[in-house]
């Protein structure tokens, strides 16, 4: 019983009982047995929705009761505030909670006063880099969804962060929560932890495969769900669940599929709605339309009015919250989702339908079956404890062979082992620089010893790969002047420190620095379209292969071009000189050029270049190449050239945004959701901020252009509106209307005629707030409004 637990703040046990936790679930009891409330390290590998969060809370609350502080590491930023809200219910027992989001480059000292801090692994990593002192005093760290160390992109950060925290404080209690994985003992071994490895679930889960006219369950039972001739399996299964009053969650493999499935399934759900539900759904649809004025918003609202919804990473967080909430309240009857919903978001459902079990994988070159681990996480969302008698997770097969395969792979199959991805170069580049910069290690031996604390070391004992990659990466960092080596000692240069604190991939920093130097005319460069002498192409290929770090520009500086095709080159140099003359000593870099520069760094997730896009962007390239910084890759170099074009497409989207093109129009033009636009804009803002810092530190003359490009993308406006958008409450649309009414600056706004302001801002409250924010003495609109009402009445 929770009230019998010792070592927790007074009242916590009773509170838990009040919430319906009458007894600990078996894995929770095992964790307590293993010492999770006594400061012991514990790895809990248990199925989704089996009460992992409570294990974490018990660990953290007991740590706080002993006078310590705790850190809870979440895998997604969206989960950080959700968890914080969840933990805030302990504030009435004297436990303070903080969440760290936002700007990477700060040490977040205020967080040191909190008992429990929630943050993403990236944020924690950056706090360590920025030397947040409270991190040293932590007594307990919880890592949620630790199996994500397997993730190619984000896994290494989590892995290194845990290793660092544990090295900073050898007594740190480590609690790691994981889905059931193939190698839980290895993870426990890595973290020197007791292992709780369990298949227990609070509600029975029946898994099976639908084929023909029935679901075949693993336990041998069948449930008839007939599909009309020519009909589809998914609607039939959703309909069947609804007949029993249950909801369904349908997992598909792409956003487009999520949207089209939801739209089709709306036809099924609308048949099952009561009048009252219809009314509530109409209201919800309106609320969804109010979030943003985009096609996605409209489509979603249309589905929701019928009781269905889609869910994917292209939705804004407001949309997601509305959809998840209404699904939990059983108002929305079905969600068609991409796998983001399986990861950590608490949205259980009576029935889970895994419709697509393959996904396009560019590295694989075709449709690849999903990992068993991932499908199990989707299936784990089935069954709402206390509401459903059991949960059902169903896969779909259209023939007998597929049915057999699905049984083998997912129904009876074991999840894969988690493998460290740390030895990948981009990961090591970033983390080795950070490790040197924050003083964790300053010799090669130190570095290797530090890396010994990682899962990678556990999994690669006796294998030299880590050493080899470490050397390659150190060479790269040295070549780009981020570190210096003197004898055995490795130290970070000033710029290396900055890069690490800015949380940039060193390769992004190198690209940005090169581009800015080029723009400043610091290095003579040939950036002509069509510069494709045979020799420099080879030089590029060599650079990529042998060192993997020298940039094309460095090679050019070293005279690799000297042997190029003479004739073609002469012609080009003339124009190149012109371009350089333009840039020389002036600060004349276009926003597009800067957006392109940051879009081609590995820190920007570029827009995908569809086959039909290629011609279009080659044309754009032709027209605007002189604005781009650095040299266009050779067209023969397919990969680099494609990337250059994708970056250009991304840059154009940012330029559109910064030129006040409607969000809706942008979404349409680039076939993206509002969430994507936001994401790219945020990333660009962050990278341009970094570029501004780097330019400042290196004394480059383009600081002003960079700052302006950053502010434009931040506010989504042309240059002329920047003064107005700096007023709180004035966004891109309001600023434009004010400008058109002749109010062009903050100063104008302080002097302007109130009726004009009111007309442009279209609302008394808004107008008053804005005038107040700009510091106008008497912001009241009382008389003005009465006047204009009177005028209207008189008309
Ligand atoms: P997980 O983190 O494993 O996915 P959660 O921690 O979100 O799962 O738990 C799922 C649900 O079970 C939550 O709503 C939680 O309040 C509830 N729960 C957890 N432990 C117990 C318990 N011992 N008794 C009753 N309900 C519990």
Range in 201-205, 470-474, 578-582, 591-595 with the lowest mean pLDDT: 578-582
Closest C-alpha residue for ligand 1 atom 13 = 51
Domain assignment present for 160? yes
Q: Which residue has the higher pLDDT, 789 or 656?
A: 656
Instruction: Establish whether residue 51 lines the binding site of ligand 1, counting it when its CB lies within 6 angstroms of any ligand atom.
Output: yes
CA-based end-to-end distance of the chain:
74
Q: What is the pLDDT of residues 611-647, one digit of tens each?
A: 788 889 999 999 999 899 988 888 777 788 889 999 9
Ligand 1 centroid to residue 202 C-alpha, Å: 8
Same domain, 486 and 539: no
Same domain, 709 and 779: no
Give the model's pLDDT for residue 551: 27
Instruction: Establish whether residue 52 lines the binding site of ligand 1, counting it when its CB lies within 6 angstroms of any ligand atom.
Output: yes
Q: Model confidence at 790, in pLDDT bands (50, 70, 90)? A: low
Q: Model confidence at 265, in pLDDT bands (50, 70, 90)? A: very high
Q: Model confidence at 45, in pLDDT bands (50, 70, 90)? A: very high
Ligand 1 centroid to residue 191 C-alpha, Å: 24
DSSP codes of every residue in 33-83:
HTTGGGT--EEEE--TTSSHHHHHHHHHHHHHHTT--EEEEESSHHHHHHH
Q: Which residue has the higher pLDDT, 343 or 707?
A: 707
Q: What percent of the chain has pLDDT over 90?
A: 52
Q: Tell me the C-alpha distance between 298 and 259, whole Å.
A: 12
Q: What is the pLDDT of residues 462-478, one digit of tens each?
A: 677 888 888 999 999 99
Indicate if the pLDDT at residue 528 is higher than 90. no
Same domain, 495 and 546: no
Residue that terminates a domain, selected from 380, 411, 442: 411
142, 73 Cβ separation under 8 angstroms? yes
Q: Which residue has the higher pLDDT, 566 or 787?
A: 787
Indicate if the pLDDT at residue 608 is higher than 60. yes
Mean pLDDT of 483-493: 92
Closest C-alpha residue for ligand 1 atom 9 = 51
Instruction: Establish whether residue 49 lines the binding site of ligand 1, counting it when its CB lies within 6 angstroms of any ligand atom.
Output: yes
| Spatial CA neighbour of 383 closest among 180, 198, 203, 201 | 203
Same domain, 645 and 706: yes
Same domain, 589 and 611: yes
Give the model's pLDDT for residue 506: 93
Range in 56-70, 261-275, 533-547, 658-672 with the lowest mean pLDDT: 533-547
Indicate if the pLDDT at residue 400 is higher than 70. yes
Same domain, 217 and 316: yes
- The residues with which 206 forms a beta bridge, in sequence order, are 392
* CATH number of residue 462's parent domain: 1.10.10.10
Q: Model confidence at 491, in pLDDT bands (50, 70, 90)? A: very high
The long-range contacts involving 552-559, CB below 8 angstroms and separated by at least 24 positions, are: 552/630, 552/631, 552/633, 553/514, 553/518, 553/523, 553/525, 553/630, 553/631, 554/479, 554/514, 556/525, 556/526, 556/631, 557/523
Domain assignment present for 540? yes
Same domain, 468 and 567: no
Indicate if the pLDDT at residue 67 is higher than 60. yes
Same domain, 8 and 72: yes
* CATH number of residue 641's parent domain: 1.10.3380.30
Mean pLDDT of 47-57: 89
Give the model's pLDDT for residue 524: 42
Mean pLDDT in the chain? 84
* CATH number of residue 90's parent domain: 3.40.50.300
Indicate if the pLDDT at residue 574 is higher than 70. no
Instruction: Establish whether residue 20 lines the binding site of ligand 1, counting it when its CB lies within 6 angstroms of any ligand atom.
Output: yes
Indicate if the pLDDT at residue 794 is higher than 90. no
Q: What is the DSSP code (8-state) at residue 349?
A: B
Domain assignment present for 420? no
Residue that terminates a domain, selected from 351, 386, 411: 411
Q: Tell me the C-alpha distance between 526 and 574, whole Å.
A: 9
Domain assignment present for 416? no
Q: Which residue has the higher pLDDT, 583 or 360?
A: 360
Q: What is the pLDDT of residues 102-118, one digit of tens each?
A: 655 555 677 778 899 99
Indicate if the pLDDT at residue 546 is higher than 70. no
Q: Which of 46, 54, 377 most suits a substitution to test ligand 1, by most atoms within 8 Å of the C-beta?
A: 54
- Count the neighbouring beta carbons within 10 Å of the beta carbon of residue 657: 25
- Total domain count for the chain? 5
Instruction: Establish whether residue 21 lines the binding site of ligand 1, counting it when its CB lies within 6 angstroms of any ligand atom.
Output: yes
Q: Model confidence at 536, in pLDDT bands (50, 70, 90)? A: very low
Give the model's pLDDT for residue 125: 87
Same domain, 232 and 211: yes
Give the model's pLDDT for residue 579: 41
Give the model's pLDDT for residue 527: 33
Same domain, 148 and 8: yes
Domain assignment present for 419? no
364 Cβ contact list (under 8 Å, min separation 6): none
Indicate if the pLDDT at residue 403 is higher than 90. yes
Q: Model confidence at 306, in pLDDT bands (50, 70, 90)? A: very high
623 Cβ contact list (under 8 Å, min separation 6): none
Same domain, 264 and 385: yes
Q: What is the pLDDT of residues 506-517, one digit of tens each?
A: 999 999 999 999
Ligand 1 centroid to residue 52 C-alpha, Å: 7
Give the model's pLDDT for residue 25: 94
Indicate if the pLDDT at residue 556 is higher than 80. no
| Spatial CA neighbour of 647 closest among 449, 511, 795 | 511
- What Cα–Cα distance (Å) separates residue 83 from each residue in 27, 120, 346? 21, 11, 11
Give the model's pLDDT for residue 408: 93
Domain assignment present for 390? yes
Domain assignment present for 418? no
Residue that terminates a domain, selected from 411, 440, 469: 411
CA angle 360, 257, 347 (to 5 degrees): 100
Range in 602-611, 666-675, 785-794 with the lowest mean pLDDT: 785-794
Q: Model confidence at 386, in pLDDT bands (50, 70, 90)? A: confident
Same domain, 660 and 527: yes
Its ipTM equals 0.98
- Taking the CA of residue 21 as reference, the ligand 1 atom at the shortest distance is 24
Domain assignment present for 236? yes
Mean pLDDT of 567-589: 44
Q: Which residue has the higher pLDDT, 595 or 294?
A: 595
CA 309 from chain center: how many Å? Answer: 22
Most confident by average pLDDT, 464-478, 553-567, 650-664: 650-664
Q: Model confidence at 561, in pLDDT bands (50, 70, 90)? A: very low
- Taking the CA of residue 50 as reference, the ligand 1 atom at the shortest distance is 3
683, 650 Cβ separation under 8 angstroms? no
Ligand 1 centroid to residue 50 C-alpha, Å: 6
Most confident by average pLDDT, 166-170, 363-367, 407-411, 425-429: 407-411
Full residue range of the structural domain in which residue 470 is found: 425-502
Q: Model confidence at 585, in pLDDT bands (50, 70, 90)? A: very low
């Amino acid at each position: 019983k929770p009230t019998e637990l010792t070592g927790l703040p007074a009242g916590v046990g009773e509170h838990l009982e009040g919430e319906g936790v009458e007894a600990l679930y078996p894995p929770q009891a095992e964790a307590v047995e293993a010492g999770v409330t006594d400061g012991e390290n514990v790895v809990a590998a248990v199925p989704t929705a089996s009460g992992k969060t409570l294990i974490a809370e018990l660990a953290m609350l007991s740590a706080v009761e002993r006078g310590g502080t705790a850190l809870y590491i979440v895998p997604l930023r969206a989960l950080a505030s959700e968890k914080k809200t969840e933990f805030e219910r302990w504030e009435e027992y004297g436990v303070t909670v903080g969440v760290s989001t936002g700007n990477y480059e700060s040490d977040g000292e205020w967080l040191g006063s909190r008992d429990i801090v929630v943050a993403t692994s990236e944020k924690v990593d950056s706090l360590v880099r920025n030397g947040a002192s409270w991190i040293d005093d932590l007594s307990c760290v919880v890592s949620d969804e630790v199996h994500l160390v397997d993730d190619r992109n984000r896994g290494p950060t989590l892995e290194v962060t845990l290793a660092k925290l544990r090295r900073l404080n050898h007594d740190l209690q480590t609690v790691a929560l994981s889905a059931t994985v193939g190698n839980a003992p290895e993870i426990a071994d890595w973290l020197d932890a007791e292992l709780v490895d369990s298949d227990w679930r609070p509600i029975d889960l029946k898994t099976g495969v639908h084929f023909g006219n029935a679901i075949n369950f693993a336990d041998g039972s069948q449930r008839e769900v007939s599909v009309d001739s020519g009909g589809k399996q998914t609607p039939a299964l959703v309909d069947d669940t609804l007949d029993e009053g249950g909801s369904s969650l349908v997992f598909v493999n792409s956003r487009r599929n999520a949207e089209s499935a939801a739209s089709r399934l709306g036809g099924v759900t609308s048949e099952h709605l009561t009048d009252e539900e219809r009314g509530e759904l109409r209201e919800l649809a309106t609320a969804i339309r109010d979030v943003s004025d985009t096609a996605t918003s409209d489509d979603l609202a249309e589905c929701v009015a019928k009781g269905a919804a889609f869910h994917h990473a292209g939705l804004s967080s407001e949309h997601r919250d509305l959809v998840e909430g209404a699904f939990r309240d059983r108002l929305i009857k079905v969600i068609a989702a991409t796998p983001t919903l399986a990861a950590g978001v608490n949205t259980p459902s009576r029935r889970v339908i895994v419709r697509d079990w393959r996904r396009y994988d560019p590295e694989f070159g075709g449709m690849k079956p999903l990992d068993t681990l991932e499908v199990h996480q989707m299936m784990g969302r089935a069954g709402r404890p206390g509401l459903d008698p059991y949960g059902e997770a169903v896969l779909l097969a259209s023939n007998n062979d597929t049915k057999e395969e699905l049984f083998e792979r997912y129904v009876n199959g074991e999840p894969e082992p988690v493998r460290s991805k740390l030895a990948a170069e981009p990961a090591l580049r970033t983390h080795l620089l950070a490790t040197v910069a924050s003083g964790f290690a300053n010799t090669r031996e130190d570095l290797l010893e530090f890396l010994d604390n990682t899962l990678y070391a556990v999994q690669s004992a006796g294998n030299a790969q880590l050493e080899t990659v470490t050397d390659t990466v150190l060479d790269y960092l040295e070549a780009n002047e981020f570190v210096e080596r003197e004898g055995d000692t490795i130290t970070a240069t000033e710029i290396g420190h900055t890069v690490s604190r800015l949380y940039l991939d060193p390769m992004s920093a190198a690209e940005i620095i090169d581009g800015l130097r080029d723009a400043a005319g610091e290095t003579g460069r040939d950036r002509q379209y069509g510069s494709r002498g045979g020799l420099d192409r080879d030089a590029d290929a060599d650079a990529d292969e042998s060192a993997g770090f020298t940039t094309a520009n460095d090679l050019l500086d070293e005279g690799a071009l000297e042997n190029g095709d003479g004739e073609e080159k002469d012609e080009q140099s003339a124009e190149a000189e012109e371009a350089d003359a333009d840039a020389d000593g002036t600060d004349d870099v276009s926003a597009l050029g800067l957006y392109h520069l940051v879009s081609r760094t590995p820190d920007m997730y570029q827009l995908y270049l569809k086959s039909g896009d290629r011609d279009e962007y080659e044309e754009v390239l032709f027209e605007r190449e002189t604005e781009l910084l650095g040299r266009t890759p050779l067209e023969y170099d397919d990969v680099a050239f494609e990337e250059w074009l994708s970056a250009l497409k991304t840059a154009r989207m940012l330029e559109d945004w910064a030129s006040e093109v409607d969000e809706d129009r942008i979404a349409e033009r680039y076939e993206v959701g509002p969430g994507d636009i936001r994401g790219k804009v945020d990333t660009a803002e962050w990278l341009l901020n970094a570029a501004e810092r780097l330019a400042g530190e290196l004394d480059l003359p383009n600081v002003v252009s960079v700052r302006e490009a950053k502010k434009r993308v931040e506010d989504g406006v042309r240059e002329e509106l920047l003064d107005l958008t700096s007023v709180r409450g004035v966004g891109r649309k309001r600023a434009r209307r004010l400008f058109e009414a002749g109010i062009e600056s903050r100063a104008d706004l302080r002097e302007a005629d109130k009726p004009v302001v009111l007309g442009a801002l279209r609302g008394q409250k808004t107008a008053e707030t804005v005038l107040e924010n700009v510091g106008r003495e008497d912001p009241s609109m009382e008389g003005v409004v009465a006047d204009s009402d009177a005028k209207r009445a008189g008309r």
